[in-house]
A and B are shown apart, each in its own frame.
Chain A
């Protein structure tokens, strides 16, 4: 595709999908939302088909329903802005440009579940967002107090630990502890922050929730596929000639379509969903759908052209995991170190190439027996890269 066609197509996409970054006035929205009953709100979110944008894709309305039904004197809403997945930067962009839509999302969630306190857990690397965001939060708290709401939001800063994006680790961190994920069940919707029912949402999920409440579920539901309703914000990086990086796109595209739009064509692989996502090789571009029915993504799409060494890519990801694993469980703490040491040993000839098969088995075991999503998904890039780029790992 020549570049002007690509530009035109991208412009079309932008025109068709423009929810998150659309400018709008939120005062009216607040009034409208506050008139609505919690049941109505829940119903709207249910109808929209919205699923979590933080990676796992759990139906948003169900989380709200569970937390709503949980009996407790206190409940909490947490906005997960710990965005640490390599290659992901959409939550930063949303918080920079559209914080005004995140906060009402927290409020509606709070109204539905019956919470009076919300936290934004902002990754330490984004501390520079703090001045503007604090101002925004202060104004918001003030505004809703005037409207007679008891809900208020507080920002908490992370301190550089990727695993704190995992919701129970995040809660541990908020409680002042090491960010070690908890055993689940119990899930945070029944026992979360300080043991109270807690809903944790990705920044983007909250924005869609507020849009769905204010404009009705249709604007969202009409986009995407049946499994993956709506749109999603993508972070595009790597070997792309466009440097804008952030695009809100409809769910359900194939990787082929995607690559055609966002690159000059010489792409041998796409890492979908960051370091913990899957690596899709060129031969699978056409029949891989981006979405819950294909490869899910928290938003990160990294393109690799034919000059890139997939060994380096995998090595870099594994270094990331062996450092960022919380270290409490055996499969992940040691497994990540073994995968890294293992590919080094195969590369240097210390171990025969068949050792890669042992490692793939090990990765498979990590996937099913690690305690949390980090150790389970650290296996994803390993398995997919070794499967599709075995020679590059060996020689």
Chain B
């Protein structure tokens, strides 16, 4: 039991554990203290000073977020001095700000705006000291507008603490203090994974996704285009948040309906290619294992998953020496694009030149992925346009459709059927679990030995998780695996990924298969997900994902009828020639300290 501390906030006693801050204590009493630089996912900064409170016997106003609760402390959160100080802080921030709310992408979802409204602050109380900054639009994924930055440094701490990239840092001092990339170069020049975690934590419009809403409307409006849309598994458990549903609501059916109503010609599902990924990636793993264990060949093992484009770009920058260890499978998004413009185009009799593939992703890195030059195996750019969960939310609001009262519907067929195994791709550990459900069965002819197919050991929110599965009763083809203990590891958040990747780079990794997701919590915590995202919210989205899995008829990728059909009709066999062309890719070394060959 940790030590307990009792203090008074607004004359009410509250007891917290040692280490708790005044802010934590106030929250326990449901007393709201405004914050700006504070974010529960990252370390405390205590620099915005919006959260100041009054402390008895102290002339100064301490910052609640950065002040440890102490025995006998007496705090007041709503005195005249406190209100005035907060108001002054907010006014100061506005004097440095461009205050262009009406034209701002974050209008309505901006913590600064909310504070200004709450404290009825006039924007011109002080003289404007806004400096002249350009907007950095160089990245296909994220956009940086320093004129809207409040220097809370949440982005810096996110990129360093959670992602181990440190693409952004604070530069200059005093009035020159700002958030910078290396030498204020454009984002596409520096080492950035496009994960969008900084965007997700930026309280203002300073860091946003590059939005492609108009491009999508444009395609829908163009009668000569056949527009198909795919949605990633994690979108359906978060989209509701931007449309007034409770956190953790599953809105799959309504989402399909709304997409149809928005005017997409076909509504498909990335889950379909997630199932396909499992088949391809599972066979790739089994091939590597057999080459190593049966043939004694020197093949790269462990195999890393490759569906997280933030992770891929990170590896290409930081761990070029392990690129051979990455599965060559494209991410489900890209598999989808390639198949839409080949398999589906052929079946539906549509000229792929007239087709537009849109994807709705929880992720900003997918925007970059879709723009990679090698992602054109259909002969066209495979995925034309990537929007995030948030952007889809905007489109739905713009359309005026009453989302919450929509009937539910199912995806269109051919690229729409999916299993529970695909749904769990959205949570950290999900790809691992889905792969095991299939691979184990391929090798043994039996279902994985876990109750109700739920492989609990690989689930959860610990940054790095390990598991092992003993393979027993192999089919004759896989006899060399008999009794083998498959060692597995999972990491989410790049700071955790680094640990596993480093082991591999140094040749001391004990594992066979490693799942990496760039974002904390996996895709459900992706950079393109609704803001705010934090541990509480991630947990709720995760519960929704697993309950969606359990609600589905098929729970194993190889049971997906449309997957079975595409192999029969088109791909023929896993890792076959067509798969190789359409579903697999290669990786490029990009430079550890700045982008090579740009």
A contact set with B: CB distance below 8 Å: 161, 163, 178, 180, 183, 185, 321-331, 333-338, 341-342, 345, 351, 358, 361-362, 365, 367-371, 376
Chain B residues within 8 Å of A322, by CB: 174-175
Binds A, one of B60-68, B401-409, B537-545: B60-68
Pairwise interchain contact B174-A370, C-beta atoms closer than 8 A: no
Contact A327:B172 (CB < 8 A) given known A183-B46, A362-B88: yes
Contact A369:B173 (CB < 8 A) given known A330-B47, A330-B93, A331-B49: no
Pairwise interchain contact B175-A329, C-beta atoms closer than 8 A: no
Contact A337:B175 (CB < 8 A) given known A183-B44, A330-B93: yes
User: Chain A CB within 10 Å — which of B45, B59, B127 has the most?
Assistant: B127
What are 7 A-B pairs at a CB distance below 8 A? A178-B170, A180-B170, A322-B175, A325-B174, A325-B177, A362-B92, A369-B88
Chain B residues within 8 Å of A161, by CB: 173
Provide the bound-state CA to CA distance between A328 and B48, in Å: 8
Pairwise interchain contact B44-A335, C-beta atoms closer than 8 A: no
Chain B residues within 8 Å of A323, by CB: 173-175
Which of A163, A185, A331, A334 has a CB less than 8 Å from the CB of B173? A163
Asked if B486 is an interface residue, CB under 8 A from chain A, the answer is no
Question: Given known contacts A183-B46, A365-B84, what 13 new A-B pairs fall within 8 Å (CB)?
Answer: A322-B175, A326-B173, A326-B174, A327-B176, A328-B47, A330-B47, A330-B48, A341-B126, A367-B60, A368-B52, A368-B60, A369-B85, A370-B49
The count of residues in chain B whose C-beta lies closer than 8 Å to any C-beta of chain A is 38
Pairwise interchain contact A329-B127, C-beta atoms closer than 8 A: no
Pairwise interchain contact A345-B127, C-beta atoms closer than 8 A: yes
Which of A327, A328, A331 has a CB less than 8 Å from the CB of B92? A331
Nearest 4 CB-CB pairs, A to B?
A327-B177, A334-B92, A183-B66, A328-B47
Pairwise interchain contact A333-B177, C-beta atoms closer than 8 A: yes
Provide the bound-state CA to CA distance between A180 and B153, in Å: 12
Pairwise interchain contact B175-A185, C-beta atoms closer than 8 A: no
Instruction: Report A32 CB to chain B, min CB distance, Å.
Output: 41
Chain A residues within 8 Å of B68, by CB: 185
Instruction: Report B170 CB to chain A, min CB distance, Å.
Output: 7
Which of B47, B48, B95, B170 has a CB less than 8 Å from the CB of A338? B95
Provide the bound-state CA to CA distance between A325 and B49, in Å: 15
Contact A329:B47 (CB < 8 A) given known A178-B170, A362-B88, A368-B85: yes
Which of A338, A351, A368 has a CB less than 8 Å from the CB of B129? A338
Which of A351, A368, A371 has a CB less than 8 Å from the CB of B46? A371
Instruction: Report A293 CB to chain B, min CB distance, Å.
Output: 17
Provide the bound-state CA to CA distance between A335 and B175, in Å: 10
B88, closest chain A residue (CB): A365
Asked if B367 is an interface residue, CB under 8 A from chain A, the answer is no
Pairwise interchain contact A369-B175, C-beta atoms closer than 8 A: no
Chain B residues within 8 Å of A345, by CB: 127
Contact A327:B173 (CB < 8 A) given known A334-B92, A369-B85, A371-B63: yes
Asked if B81 is an interface residue, CB under 8 A from chain A, the answer is yes
B contact set with A: CB distance below 8 Å: 44-50, 52, 59-61, 63, 66-68, 81, 84-85, 88-89, 92-93, 95-96, 125-127, 129, 150-151, 153, 170, 172-177
Chain B residues within 8 Å of A163, by CB: 173
User: Chain B CB within 10 Å — which of A180, A324, A327, A369 has the most?
Assistant: A369
Pairwise interchain contact A369-B46, C-beta atoms closer than 8 A: no
Provide the bound-state CA to CA distance between A9 and B129, in Å: 51
Provide the bound-state CA to CA distance between A234 and B54, in Å: 36
Provide the bound-state CA to CA distance between A254 and B45, in Å: 42
A374, closest chain B residue (CB): B174
Chain A residues within 8 Å of B172, by CB: 327
Provide the bound-state CA to CA distance between A330 and B302, in Å: 48
Contact A341:B174 (CB < 8 A) given known A331-B49, A331-B89: no
Chain A residues within 8 Å of B174, by CB: 321-327, 333, 336
Provide the bound-state CA to CA distance between A368 and B44, in Å: 20
Which of A178, A333, A365, A368 has a CB less than 8 Å from the CB of B175? A333
Chain B residues within 8 Å of A358, by CB: 125
User: Chain B CB within 10 Å — which of A180, A185, A334, A367 has the most?
Assistant: A334
Provide the bound-state CA to CA distance between A333 and B153, in Å: 14
Which of B50, B60, B173 has a CB less than 8 Å from the CB of A325? B173
User: Chain B CB within 10 Å — which of A180, A327, A370 has the most?
Assistant: A327
Chain A residues within 8 Å of B92, by CB: 330-331, 334-335, 338, 362
Provide the bound-state CA to CA distance between A4 and B174, in Å: 47
Chain B residues within 8 Å of A178, by CB: 170, 173
User: Chain B CB within 10 Å — which of A336, A345, A371 has the most?
Assistant: A371
Which of B49, B67, B96 has a CB less than 8 Å from the CB of A329? B49
Instruction: Report A359 CB to chain B, min CB distance, Å.
Output: 9
Pairwise interchain contact B89-A330, C-beta atoms closer than 8 A: yes
Provide the bound-state CA to CA distance between A361 and B89, in Å: 12
Provide the bound-state CA to CA distance between A180 and B84, in Å: 26
B86, closest chain A residue (CB): A369
Provide the bound-state CA to CA distance between A185 and B45, in Å: 13
Provide the bound-state CA to CA distance between A341 and B127, in Å: 7
Which of B47, B125, B176 has a CB less than 8 Å from the CB of A371? B47
Pairwise interchain contact B85-A365, C-beta atoms closer than 8 A: yes
Chain B residues within 8 Å of A330, by CB: 47-50, 89, 92-93, 150-151
B59, closest chain A residue (CB): A368
Chain B residues within 8 Å of A376, by CB: 60
Provide the bound-state CA to CA distance between A341 and B45, in Å: 28
Provide the bound-state CA to CA distance between A185 and B19, in Å: 12
Pairwise interchain contact B129-A341, C-beta atoms closer than 8 A: yes
B36, closest chain A residue (CB): A330
Instruction: Report A279 CB to chain B, min CB distance, Å.
Output: 21
Instruction: Report A120 CB to chain B, min CB distance, Å.
Output: 23
A179, closest chain B residue (CB): B173
Provide the bound-state CA to CA distance between A199 and B44, in Å: 24
User: Chain A CB within 10 Å — which of B48, B52, B89, B96 has the most?
Assistant: B89
Instruction: Report B363 CB to chain A, min CB distance, Å.
Output: 31
Provide the bound-state CA to CA distance between A180 and B172, in Å: 11
Chain A residues within 8 Å of B84, by CB: 361, 365
Instruction: Report A172 CB to chain B, min CB distance, Å.
Output: 12
Contact A326:B61 (CB < 8 A) given known A334-B92, A338-B126, A369-B89: no
Chain A residues within 8 Å of B88, by CB: 331, 361-362, 365, 369
Provide the bound-state CA to CA distance between A163 and B177, in Å: 14
Instruction: Report A322 CB to chain B, min CB distance, Å.
Output: 5
Which of A183, A342, A367 has a CB less than 8 Å from the CB of B63? A183
Chain A residues within 8 Å of B81, by CB: 368
Chain A residues within 8 Å of B48, by CB: 329-330
Provide the bound-state CA to CA distance between A180 and B49, in Å: 15
Instruction: Report A342 CB to chain B, min CB distance, Å.
Output: 7
User: Chain A CB within 10 Å — which of B59, B66, B68, B175 has the most?
Assistant: B175
Chain A residues within 8 Å of B95, by CB: 334, 338
Provide the bound-state CA to CA distance between A287 and B129, in Å: 40
B178, closest chain A residue (CB): A327
Chain B residues within 8 Å of A185, by CB: 67-68
Chain B residues within 8 Å of A342, by CB: 126-127
Provide the bound-state CA to CA distance between A144 and B96, in Å: 54
Provide the bound-state CA to CA distance between A341 and B175, in Å: 12
B68, closest chain A residue (CB): A185
Instruction: Report B518 CB to chain A, min CB distance, Å.
Output: 26
A325, closest chain B residue (CB): B174
Provide the bound-state CA to CA distance between A183 and B49, in Å: 12
Chain A residues within 8 Å of B59, by CB: 368
Contact A369:B49 (CB < 8 A) given known A322-B175, A327-B177, A330-B92: yes
Pairwise interchain contact A328-B85, C-beta atoms closer than 8 A: no
Instruction: Report A372 CB to chain B, min CB distance, Å.
Output: 10
Instruction: Report B442 CB to chain A, min CB distance, Å.
Output: 51
Pairwise interchain contact A326-B177, C-beta atoms closer than 8 A: yes
Provide the bound-state CA to CA distance between A5 and B88, in Å: 52
Instruction: Report B242 CB to chain A, min CB distance, Å.
Output: 29
Pairwise interchain contact A327-B151, C-beta atoms closer than 8 A: yes
Chain B residues within 8 Å of A333, by CB: 151, 174-175, 177
